[in-house]
Structure formats: C-alpha cells, structure tokens
Amino acid sequence: MTEDERAVALADELERAGDLRSPEWRRAVERVPRHVFVPAFFERTDTPDRGTLWTPVHSDDDRWLDLAYRDETWVTQLDGHITPHDVDEPVGGDPTSSSTLPGLVVRMLEDLDVDDGANVLEVGTGSGYSTALLCERLGAGKVTSIEVDAGVAANAAAALRRAGHVPNLVVGDGLDGCPLAAPYDRIIATCSVRTIPSAWLVQARPGGRILVTVTGWLGGYELALLEVGDGGVAEGRFLPGAISFMVARPQAPPVVGDERWRAAFEMLADAGARPAVVGPGVLKDWTGAFVAQLAAPTVVAQAVRVDGGPWVEYCLDTASGAVAFLTPDADGGWTVRQAGPKRIWDDVEAAVRTWRDAGSPAKERFRIRTDGRVQTVSLDAPGGPVSWAPPL
Ligand SMILES: C[S@@+](CC[C@H](N)C(=O)[O-])C[C@H]1O[C@@H](n2cnc3c(N)ncnc32)[C@H](O)[C@@H]1O
C-alpha cells in the first residue's frame, strides 16, 4: 500500500468508528501524511516486573509505516527530554509529547464545528499532525499553534514544512495564548488544563468556542466545550467519551518527593480513624475521580503496597499539608485516617455523596462556567443545582 492509500484507509477506519463525520475533515485526513509527523516514536509495553516500558520504533523498522497509520497514540517524548533517537532499548518514563490517537483528534476537530475562514488557536502542537489537519481544512494562514517544548516545536515545524504547510507556530506557554493572531473563532487544546486560562477568554471572539480537556490532580478528565460570551465569560458542557490528555506543563501536579511522603506518613501515627463511607475505588471511576478532585483540587494521591500487602491509598493536600490514609478492612470496607489542618477525605466524601445521591450522573449533566478568575462546575441535581468553585 502506498502512503496515500494508507491515509485513505485511515480515513475509512475513522469514518466507520464514527469519529470522522464530515467530507471536509475526511479530505484533510486523506491528504495529511501521518508518517511524516511520526518519524520515530515509542511503543508501550506493560510488564509485570518493570512496569510500563517504552520501546523505540524508528523509520528503518519494518513495522514503522504500518504503525504510523494506525489509529493509535504514538508517544514521541518521555520525561520532557527523552526521544526515540536517544535510546535503543525499552525504557521507563512518563510521556510528555505524542501524536494523539487520530480518531480522537478528528473527533475533537468535528466537535470544534469550524466554518471556512475560521481563525483557530491550537495549544499543544506536539507532532504537528493535528496542526496539519487544521491547515488542510482552513489554510495555514488561519492556524496558530503553540508548543511549550522548543525541541518538539522544531520537529513539528520541520514535519509541517515537509507536508507543505507553514502555519503560525509559536514556542511558548499556550496558557498565555497568542495575542498577536487574536481574535480567534475557535481555541482547541490537545493538552489538558485545571483551569481555563483567562488569556483564552480575552483572545476568543464573542461567540467563539473553546474545546479543552479539564483535569485535576486526582486523575479525572472531562472534555469541555464552552462558548465565550460578550463579557469574557465562557459557559459550556462536557462531551461524552473517556478522553484524557497530558496536563499543560505549568498546571501539572507538584512532584512530591519521598521525604515529603515520609513526613506525611508520620503524621498518620496520631490520626483519628473512622470507617470510610467512600473508598478509594472512586478514584478509579471516570466521573468519580473528576468529582473527587473538584472537592480536593490541590490533593495528590498515591496507591502503595508494602511487602506484598494490600494496596493502600495515601492522599496529601499539597496546599495545606493535610493527609488522609485509606486501608482496606477484612470485611471489604475501608478505614480512613486523617491528620493535618483539614479533613481532605471528608471533603471528597461530601462531593461524591452529592453526586451519588443525584444518581451518579455522567458528565453530560455537569456544566462549566469561567470568567477567568473563578471556574465553576455545577451539577443539575434533583434537589437543585450544586456547584463547586474550588480555590486552585
Ligand atoms: C498530546 S501532545 C499534542 C498532540 C498533537 N496535537 C498531535 O496531534 O500530535 C500535547 C502537547 O502539549 C504540549 N504542552 C504541554 N503543556 C503546554 C503548554 N502549557 N503550552 C503549549 N504546549 C504545551 C506538550 O509538550 C505536548 O507536545
């Protein structure tokens, strides 16, 4: 199969899956050579003994071209600096840049609902693949894309040039937007944010839309589509689907070192214990984790297993230093121990109970509103709307 045929086959696959819904975006997928944007990437393997490992795949690998046109996310950078060219063997690390699953990229572009001539800001250029799709659809003159990592941005710029596109590429923090090319009809982010930046509200045209995954530090993610009103207030809803993106670098959770965790564990020696009404399993539930982090926006959690014993959950509020520690009981329940200036698991339980009392509704029942200073997520519960506006 030629590369052109592979792009057409990818478009067929995305159309069958329901991600690709319009002839305009179909034409873009058919014309963008994805292999140009992923000349090398990492393939993920989950191992029982060494955790997740990343195996480099280069363009001289027999499988490379096939893989490049698969509807899969290909990680292109680990830990903010390791590229597939740096290693020959499988390595550990956290993904920090990728070419996102084409089905997700296309679905988001369809949800963005652009008209011909729309001026678009993309945050998170990454490999440049989604930027190229935007250029095919709207013309490079209507596309501004910002990438925080200079090396990633340089690779994307080279790939875009090879594919025949010269959009406005900016190296910098996309949370500041790009005032020079504003106002935008649409802003789309392929990294997630805890709070929608006020710069985006200022730089979006009234009536413009923002499509971004809203996240937090307990691992909940929801894709939000907001419309910007006249006074710089944006309101919107959450779209269906389990969608997650790496968090925008300045909004990533602080790294909690071993020493800080050790100090947290020591506080638990004097902590009061009670049966937990909500166990840590809520953090594994897609919407549950999202609700939990609304109530505990500065809390990070870590599941730990000591000497082959049961998994226990440690939570630490990075703002106040408060801790909560959940251990399993013999009867299948959980005990929570809390210490420090606040009771963080009490807050999580209160929010989760509100959500459960409303029938554990899915994300489509939540609304989001921001004026750039206060971001509120509200739930249309049977007893009236409930809102969370966490201080972040
Ligand atoms: C999932 S990748 C983007 C995928 C890309 N759209 C594609 O199709 O290849 C997310 C990118 O966001 C970038 N990023 C993270 N924080 C950012 C920020 N504050 N401003 C701009 N880019 C950011 C990362 O460096 C990474 O390259």
- Name the residue ranges covered by the structural domains of the chain: 102-250, 255-356
Does ligand 1 have an atom closer than 6 angstroms to the CB of 97? yes
Q: Return the residue whose CA atom lies nearest to atom 27 of ligand 1.
A: 126
Alpha carbon distance 302, 38 (integer Å)? 33
pLDDT in tens, 32-81: 999 999 999 999 999 888 889 999 999 999 999 999 999 999 999 999 99
Does ligand 1 have an atom closer than 6 angstroms to the CB of 213? no
Candidates 159, 144, 176, 153; CA nearest to 251 is: 176
pLDDT in tens, 83-122: 999 999 999 999 999 999 999 999 999 999 999 999 999 9
Q: Kindly write down the DSSP assignment for every residue of 138-166, as one continuous string.
A: H-GGGEEEEES-HHHHHHHHHHHHHTT--
Consecutive H or E run containing 64: helix 64-68
- Give yes or no for a contact between 347 and 173, defined as CB atoms under 8 angstroms apart: no
User: 262-266 long-range CB contacts below 8 Å, 24 or more apart?
Assistant: 264/314, 264/316, 264/321, 264/323, 265/314, 265/323, 265/325
Average pLDDT of every residue of the chain: 94
Does ligand 1 have an atom closer than 6 angstroms to the CB of 147? yes
Query: Per-residue pLDDT for 229 more than 80?
Result: yes
Give the active site residues: 98
Average pLDDT estimate for 240-258: 90
Query: Per-residue pLDDT for 172 more than 90?
Result: yes
**What superfamily does domain 102-250 belong to in CATH?**
Vaccinia Virus protein VP39 (3.40.50.150)
- Give yes or no for a contact between 224 and 245, defined as CB atoms under 8 angstroms apart: no
pLDDT of residue 392: 65
Does ligand 1 have an atom closer than 6 angstroms to the CB of 191? yes
Both ends of the chain: CA-CA distance in Å?
Answer: 51
pLDDT of residue 272: 86
Does ligand 1 have an atom closer than 6 angstroms to the CB of 26? no
**Cα(126) to centroid(ligand 1), Å:** 5
**Cα(24) to centroid(ligand 1), Å:** 24
> What atom in ligand 1 is closest to the CA of residue 245?
1
Give the predicted TM-score (pTM) of the model. 0.95
pLDDT of residue 91: 95
Fold of 255-356: Double Stranded RNA Binding Domain (3.30.160)
Alpha carbon distance 104, 119 (integer Å)? 21
**Cα(321) to centroid(ligand 1), Å:** 31
